[in-house]
Structure 1
Amino acid sequence: MPTELSTPRALVRSWGLTELRPHEHAHWAALRAVLSVGAPIAVVLALGRSDLTLFASFGAFNSLYGRHSRYSSRLRMQTETGAFMVGVVTLGVVIAAIGGTWLAITATAAVSVTTYLVSRWAQWTPPGALFAVFAVGACSSRPQEWGTVPIALAVSAGAALWSVLVGQSGWLFPAGRNREKRPGKVRLTRAQLFGAQGVRGDLLAYAAGPVIAGTVAAAAGGAHPYWAMVSAVAPLTGPSSTHRVARALHRVWGTAAGVLLSLAVLAFDPNVVTTLVIALLAQAWAELFVMRNYGLAVIGITPLALLMQHLAVESDPLVTGTDRLVETALGAAIGVALIVATSRPRLRS
Structure 2
Amino acid sequence: MHYIDTKAGINCLDLYGQHQQIKKEVFEAFEKVYDNTAFSGGYFVEEFEKSFAQFCHTQYAVGLNNGTSALHLAMLVLGIGPGDEVIVPANTFIATAWGVSYSGAKPVFVDCTSDTWQIDPTKIESKINSRTKAIIGVHLYGQPFDIESVTAICKKYNLFLVEDAAQAQGAIFKDKPVGSFGEVGCFSFYPGKNLGACGEAGGIVTNDEGYYKHLLRLRNHGAHIRYHHDELGFNMRMGGLEGASLQIKLKYLQGWNNRRREIARRYQHEIVNEQIRWQKQPLWAQSVYHLFVITTNDKEELISYLNRHHIYPGLHYPVPCHLQKAYKHLGYQLGDCPNAEFLAGHCLSLPMYAELSDSEVSYIIDMINRY
Place the TM-score, normalised by the shorter chain, in its bin. 0.3 to 0.5
TM-score, normalization by structure 1: 0.33
Structure having the higher helix fraction is: 1
TM-score, normalization by structure 2: 0.32
Please identify the structure whose Cα radius of gyration is greater.
2
Structure having the higher strand fraction is: 2
